Structure 1
Amino acid sequence: MPDREIKVPNIGDFKDVEVIEVLVSAGQSISKNDPLITIESDKSSVEIPSTFEGKIKSVNIKIGDKVSEGDLILLLTSNEESKEDIKQKPKTQKEELEIKPVEQKKIEEKVNNHFNEKNNSGISLASPKTRKFARELGVDINQISGSERQGRVLESDIKNFISSKINKISNKRETQVKKITSEFSHSDFGKIEVKDLPRVKKLASTYLVNSWTTIPHVTNHDEADITEMEEFRTSLTDIYTGEKKKITPLAFIIKALVASLKKFPSFNSSIDDIENGKMTVKKYYHIGIAVDTPHGLMVPKIRNADNKNISLIGKDLKEVSELCRNLKINKKELFGGSMTITSLGGIGGSFFTPIINYPEVAILGVGKSYKKQLFINGKFVPRTILPLSLSYDHRIIDGAEAAKFNNDLK
């Protein structure tokens, strides 16, 4: 029985994609199309299936490895014949000689393309995918000189452009601020372990640093009396079965937030073009929800929350949270939000300073509810109180408007 090499198939333009799951082991018998590994790209996670059936002789990769098209996954003992077994006619010397001039011509064209100027309109040529890539990174593609014919811009050109900008900024900072370095390493004081950051946290760190360093954050702390809301929530029952409905308080908070956003549209805006005196007011209500996963914090969106009832919002919350925890969420679902809610209610804590999810201009932090004695109608009564922490961009929202927003929300 011949040994078959199972390799990574064509995965598009992606290279060095991380292996997040190995679903088989040596000695295991598998069938054709059985999943072997799961790889994770910037957009999604994908299972790679087997192209043969048989018994696994050895597995050549492990979790955390970086793979590309053609990399060996495993060796398989199989009775099946593959297409590779069919001998192909070798190329003749004449055919090889005919190919070389064509390849040489392509190389010369590519070199010459580096010196081509932009088209007369001054607008860089690029594919829709490349333009989207530039928009996501906040880069004006018309400022980039493309390396392809007629100045067509590639993703590699965008990366090189950003890298050159970062290097300029880094060199400028180095001349202004001297980096503080420790005289001793951590290992000088005991045993340590150096680990790789989870991929989600590495991606999020760039956005967090950008938000914290470019947005003037101000946080308004307040408390909401949710006694009646909790009584209503815990009293909900199914009209058919009579069983109690379990709906998270977050669903009610989302509905309340949408109502306040309609009254205060500046909270549902973006000012990524503030240098030109422009602000973008959104007419949709997509609420971001911070989801704590083993891989890091992710912020999927509840789309069109203004058109959904409490039950449907609660259902959507469960679905997107599960997709995030399993790394099955579509990358696009992490963008295009109106405002974000981050809740510590299930963990603990009261007030904190949540970081705004750029390019949004505000974020609502929700603490853990607690009982508090309030003086109402001449006597103290126990009430259920919910801590609120509203961080906002002071360039577009002032303190008075933030206080009014919180008052309306609660």
Structure 2
Amino acid sequence: MSTEVRVPTLGESIVDATIASWQKKEGDQVRRGETLVELETDKVNVEVSAEQDGVLQKIVKQEGEVVSVDEVIAVIGEEAAATATNGTSAPVEMANAQKPTPPPVQRQSTGALEAMRPSTGSLEAQRQPTGALDVQRPPSPLARRIAAEHNLDISQIRGSSPHGRVTKDDVIQYMEQSTQPTAPIPRVSTVETPTSPVPAVQPQQVGGQAAVSARPEERVRMSRRRQTIAQRLVEAQHTAAMLTTFNEVDMSAIMEVRSRRKESFKERHNVSLGFMSFFTKAVVGALKAFPRLNAEIQGNDMILKRYYDIGIAVGAEEGLVVPVVRDADRKSFAEIEREIADLAKRARENKLSLAELLGGTFTITNGGVFGSLLSTPILNGPQVGILGMHKIEQRPIALNGQVVIRPMMYLALSYDHRIVDGSEAVRFLVRIKELLEDPEVLLLEG
């Protein structure tokens, strides 16, 4: 009896996915709960596991194909069906019993590289777990991407995991070893001449030697998530009347509090006291004073939200993701810091669930961690407001009739002018500035 492997429900508004990588190949034995395939969606990657023990009889959808929810992508047969009459397990032979034996492939020796390859033989012999390169599991998506970016042949990289799967660390180690000094390789003067009368690349004389005039290019397909990010950012600019207003904040008071309390805070809560908890609390206080910044538009209605789910933008390898801190108004500084640290860590490891990315009533993005001095953040629809933090710089300012040096940060608020007036946006940003420059008021507002 065979069981179909189908695409599971992926989450709200997500109806399809892309096959990122198969962790098993046809003929492999699988165990219940073991990962079969990794799917890439607009927001997160999803692993699909086997629901029974057996043998992966057929892979219906290959890597790179787009599949819909509940679509069949593979078939698992019962383990007993793949057992030979002599009582020994033979999943490979059963999977290929009805296939004609292909003619032997003739190979030409290419020196040491060819000597490293396994000799041609029966399919059964090649599938034995001898540690050869051809039995390793498919490389991880991240490993394939790094290898492609550096023009590496990933088939020549040996995986260090127990099952021989090539990981990111294996590719990086291979690159480091490849950059070690080696003996110079003599140039080969005998090169086959193309039969075409017009060569693809015209050689030029440089310093008495022939040099190839070429401009290297690489075509890399955007990941599904990157395509979605691009589409939604363009949609945000097309559908919202987006404006940005700016202000600056003196970070002296917050930096003094952090310097004075950071050791005791970490000892007590086992988490560092950063800037994000102050900014999250300040945003919540300002949203309470200006509720239309915590709303969204649905048709001809404004939905004013009386809860405060604050999205924190995190830069991950596949692009920006925005996990959400739920009910931020009810959380302490330590709870906010701990939750943001956990969400950011799992975002970079691609381990966030869909539920942690959905919703959100307002977003904070911090370009300052990358050195940005000033920017105009794009709205994270359907939200109508986003706050941009930037780099802290020592700058001269006029204070009480004197020029003094203070740690200053530019703030940017992008907002949807359809329901947020300019004066309202300016006062909202001024309120954030007041709360940050007087942490005692911030604590009272919280």
Query: One fold, TM greater than 0.5?
Result: yes
Q: Secondary structure at the match of 2:80?
A: coil
Q: Structure 1: which 5+ residue stretches go unaligned?
A: 87-188
For 1:266, the equivalent position in structure 2 comes to 292
Deviations 1:280-333 (A, max 9, x none): 211111111111111111122111000001111111112222333343333343
Say yes or no: does 1:382 pair with 2:405. yes
- The TM-score, its normalising length taken from structure 1, stands at 0.61
For 1:297 and 1:290, the matched residues in 2 are separated by: 7
Q: What's the offset of the Cα at 1:376? A: 2.8
Please tell me the residue identity of whatever aligns with 1:9.
V
Once the two structures are superposed, the pairs formed by residues 231-246 of structure 1 within 5 Å of their partners are: 231-234=256-259, 235-238=261-264, 241=267, 245-246=271-272
Root-mean-square deviation over aligned CA pairs: 3.8
Determine helix, strand or coil for the equivalent of 2:257. helix
CA contact (8 A) 1:354 1:365 kept: yes
Written as runs of structure 1 = structure 2, the 5 A alignment for 1:350-361 is 350-361=373-384
> What code does the residue aligned with 2:222 have?
L
Instruction: Check the 8 A contact 1:285/1:305 in 2, yes or no.
Output: yes
Q: How does 1:134-283 map to 2 (within 5 A)?
A: 190-234=215-259, 235-238=261-264, 241=267, 245-273=271-299, 276=300, 278-283=301-306
**Structure 1 Cα separation of the partners of residues 277 and 386 of structure 2:** 16
Compared CA separation, residues 282 and 84, structure 1 to 2 (3 A): farther
Give the structure 1 partner of residue 39 of structure 2: 39
Structure 1 range deviating more: 241-250 or 65-74: 65-74
Query: Retained in 2: the 8 A contact 1:200–1:297?
Result: no
Query: What residue in structure 2 maps to residue 298 of structure 1?
Result: 321
The CA deviation string for residues 227-273 of structure 1, in whole angstroms up to 9 with x for no partner, is 11012123323469479852331121010000011011111112232
Partner of 1:320: 343
Q: Is the 8 A contact 1:372 1:383 kept in 2?
A: yes
Separation (CA, whole Å) in 1 of partners of 2:5 and 2:26: 21
Paired position in structure 2 for 1:115: none
Distance 1:348 1:29 in 2: 50
Q: CA separation of 1:233/1:82 partners in 2, compared to 1, >3 Å: closer, same or farther?
A: farther
Aligned with 1:9: secondary structure? Answer: strand
Assess, with a 3 A threshold, how the Cα gap between structure 1 residues 21 and 400 changes in structure 2: closer, same or farther.
Answer: same
Question: CA separation of 1:263/1:71 partners in 2, compared to 1, >3 Å: closer, same or farther?
Answer: closer
Q: Aligned residue for 1:10? A: 6
Q: Secondary structure at the match of 2:339?
A: helix
- Find the aligned partners of 1:263 and 1:243 in 2 and give their Cα distance: 30
Between stretches 44-53 and 371-380, larger displacement belongs to 44-53
SS at match of 2:227: helix
Aligned to 1:311: 334
Distance in 1, matches of 2:431 and 2:224, equals: 39
CA contact 1:236–1:245 (8 Å) conserved in 2: no
How far the C-alpha of 1:378 sits from its partner, in A, is 4.8
**1:26-63 CA distances to partner (integer Å, 9 max, x unpaired)?**
99997664334322345753333455489x99999876
Distance change in 2, residues 1:299/1:239 (3 Å): closer
Unaligned runs of 5+ in 2: 86-213, 434-446
Distance 1:224 1:53, change over 3 A: same
Q: Kindly, what percent of the aligned residue pairs are identical?
A: 31
* Residue aligned with 2:46, SS: strand
With 346-355 and 23-32 compared, the bigger mean Cα shift is at 23-32
Deviation at 1:365, TM superposition (A): 0.9
Q: Distance in 1 between matches of 2:8 and 2:401?
A: 70
- TM-score where L is the length of structure 2: 0.57
